[in-house]
């Protein structure tokens, strides 16, 4: 019976590791989105300090292209809305993944309790 339990334990530990890797991936994505959001909030603040007839440029590949301030504001707003939506989505995924991790921990603990120890 112990080899069966050992196999179950190994399988469950592998599932736990995979779920941990998912969580790490989500956390990395969340950090990137926070950085992007912060950068865009800074740009938005800078745009607010500009005159309405100010000239701004957008980097397109290796070239700076002239852009209207209103168009730049609109682009930054869209990015902020996107970042907020993605952060909410990731928060939900991370919450679900944390629940999965807790279930895996419980299953692992139960299997470990069933394995007889050699004394």
Q: What burial class does residue 83 get, using C-beta atoms within 10 Å of its C-beta: 0-12 exposed, 13-18 middle, 19+ buried?
A: buried
* Residue position matching structure tokens 């969340």: 30
Indicate which CATH number applies to the domain containing 53.
Answer: 1.10.287.370
Q: Which residues contact 65 (CB under 8 A, 6 or more apart)?
A: 57, 58, 59
**Model pLDDT, residue 4:** 86
Q: Please give the tally of structural domains in the chain.
A: 1
Rg (CA), the chain: 24
For residue 67, being part of any structural domain is answered with yes
**Model pLDDT, residue 52:** 85
For residue 119, being part of any structural domain is answered with no
Boundaries of domain holding 102: 1-114
**Model pLDDT, residue 2:** 66
Per-10-residue mean pLDDT of the chain, 119 residues long, equals 81 96 97 98 95 90 94 96 98 97 95 77
pTM: 0.82
């Amino acid at each position: 019976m112990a080899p069966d339990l050992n196999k179950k334990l190994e399988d469950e530990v592998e599932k736990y590791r995979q779920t941990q890797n998912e969580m790490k991936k989500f956390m990395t994505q969340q950090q990137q989105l926070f950085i992007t959001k912060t950068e865009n909030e800074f740009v938005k603040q800078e745009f607010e300090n500009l005159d309405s007839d100010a000239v701004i440029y957008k980097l397109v590949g290796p070239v700076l292209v002239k852009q209207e301030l209103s168009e730049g504001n609109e682009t930054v707003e869209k990015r902020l809305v996107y970042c907020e939506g993605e952060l909410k989505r990731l928060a939900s995924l991370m919450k679900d993944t944390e629940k999965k991790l807790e279930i895996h921990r419980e299953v692992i603990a139960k299997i470990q309790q069933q394995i007889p120890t050699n004394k």
